[in-house]
Structures are given as structure tokens and as C-alpha cells.
Amino acid sequence: MSNRRGLLIILSSPSGAGKSTLSRRLRDWDPTIAFSVSATTRAPRPGEVDGQDYHFMSQPQFKQDVAAGDMLEHAHVFGNFYGSPRGPVQAAIDAGRDVLFDIDWQGAQQIRNSALGAHTLSIFLLPPSIRELHRRLETRGQDAPDVIAKRMEKSWDEISHWDGYDFVLVNEDLDATEARLKTIIEATRLRRSQQPGLTAHVRALQTEFEEMQ
């Protein structure tokens, strides 16, 4: 249906539960989904590409962007600033594309309360266990032990906001979680509020119906 409105798809979870992995799989599945590349003041991890994984920036630059109103939402997480640049999100939504966010509960709350709030789909990922969460952070092999310890320490803060989300998935089997995510997205795209073109279609059906009487 023409005229479709883009959906803001928000994925949150404690660090290590699988957001980045699943968000990559969703983008491979449907390349029309735009990924909101966050700005961050944290240092790049090995292999992370500036402009692709994050926009890496200095703290003064980040604060300047926030002051200029250029961030749709922003938060302080694990000692660094993170935010979603507004421009690309608005452009994608206006073009009828869905936008995927990998952000924490504070960002999710800010987007839900923004002017775009009516068009959000929020999904929270829970780990099967805290022990498994720890194992995943270790096997990811990207963070120093002290960084992992900090993320584990903060995991409960994030998990405690699970009940503010539209959907909650326990990410035990990766393929099963991916399939469930796709089902949720496909169903939400069919929400009446996401299909403004339906009104015109129903009007055309009515005209046709009346002509046939």
C-alpha cells in the first residue's frame, strides 16, 4: 500500500544479550530497514567502522549536537554518551522506511514520549540466564575484563525495565529469536495506524460497491 509510514523498531537488552547480532540479521533479511547509527563518545572496538557501527565523536562535539537539538534521544550509559542523530531517522521515516534502533531503556523511553511515539515498536531481549549473559560477553571477546565486569554490574538496571516494552523475547536459540522478531515486525507493519493508504482503498471499495447496486 502506498503512503506507508515508517516504523521505529527499538531493540533493547542488557549488554551481551544479542541486540547487535539480531539487528544485523534483520537488516540482511530486509535491506529496506534503515539502521539508526548512533553517536557515541566511547572508543571504537577492533573492527568497528566509523559511520557504520557508530559515529564516534568527542564529548564536546556530542554535547554541541545535543544542545543544537540534533539528537532524537540521548543517554549516559556505562560512562559514555550515546545518542540517535535525528536527521537520518526523520528522512527514513518520511520515505516510508522502518528504522531500527539498538538503544538502552532511557533512549526507548524518550522516543516513546516523542512526537514519533505513536509509531514505535519496542522489543526487549532477555538472556536465558545471568551466567549465560556473562559467558556471551566473554566469548564475544571484544571487551577487557573490567569493561565486562561493569556491563554485568549494570545488567540488572537494564533488565529491570523489561516491562515497559511491547514485546519481550528470551534469546535462547538465536534462530528461533530471529524468526520471532520477524513475525513481530511483519504483524506490526499491518497495524491500521501504519497503513494510512487504507482509507483511500476502502473509499474506492465503497464507490465500486455503490456503483454495483
130's grid cell: 545471568
Interface of this chain with ligand GDP, residues 65 to 94, rule: CB under 6 A: 73, 75, 77-78, 82-84
With cell 562535539, the residue in question is: 61
Give min distance, CB of 9 to ligand GDP, in A. 13
Q: Which is closer to ligand ADP, CB of 160 or CB of 199?
A: 160
Residue at 11: amino acid letter: L
Q: Is 13 annotated as a binding residue?
A: yes
18 binds ligand GDP (CB under 6 A): no
Binding residue (CB under 6 A) for ligand GDP from 42, 136, 161, 180: 42
| Using rule CB under 6 A, residue 37 touches ligand GDP | no
Q: Based on the shown chain and the rule CB under 6 A, indicate whether residue 122 belongs to the binding site for ligand GDP.
A: no
CA atoms within 13 A on the CB side of 11: 30
Best CA proximity match to 83, nearest among 97, 95, 61, 94: 61
178 binds, among ligand ADP, ligand GDP, none (CB under 5 to 8 A by kind): none
User: Least distance from C-beta 175 to ligand ADP, angstroms?
Assistant: 8
CB of 94 to ligand ADP, least distance (A): 28
Sole residue written with cell 540534533: 70
Burial (Cβ within 10 Å: 0-12, 13-18, ≥19) of residue 120? buried
Q: Is 130 in the site for ligand ADP (CB under 6 A)?
A: no
DSSP for 86-130 reads HHHHHHHHHTT--EEEE--HHHHHHHHTSTTGGGEEEEEEEPS-H
Contact pick of 7, 98, 99, 102 for ligand GDP (by CB under 6 A): 102
Annotation-wise, does 6 bind a ligand? Answer: no
